[in-house]
Structure 1
């Protein structure tokens, strides 16, 4: 699950991988400068690739994990 705090609505926006259909009202763009909360069921590696950053791997542990994302182009959850 990936979630972020939507200050405009005063709620969390949540996307559940494998449950929430892409393009649904609960889908959202991943935006630069926004912090996201990730919940995983097993130890997982989240890998960021792109420019100007070099490849970055972040270890994720069961439960909630908070990461930030910055990209010059829009991507989706």
Structure 2
């Protein structure tokens, strides 16, 4: 489906008081290098496209492209 074996990045977050220092970019670059060294040609992650943190822009600047979109439905009591 994704052109071969891939690494799946389940979570990436930076505490609010530590944002804006490039920590997410550095951490993600480290993970991508490790995946490449492990022989994986692709990396996959999910992101809230409406997130006010700018996560989508960060991922795209590191070479990720949007391939699928989904909608999550939640029922609150």
| TM-score (norm: length of structure 1) | 0.22
Bigger radius of gyration, 1 or 2? 2
Q: Say which structure is richer in helix.
A: 2
Q: Say which structure is richer in strand.
A: 1
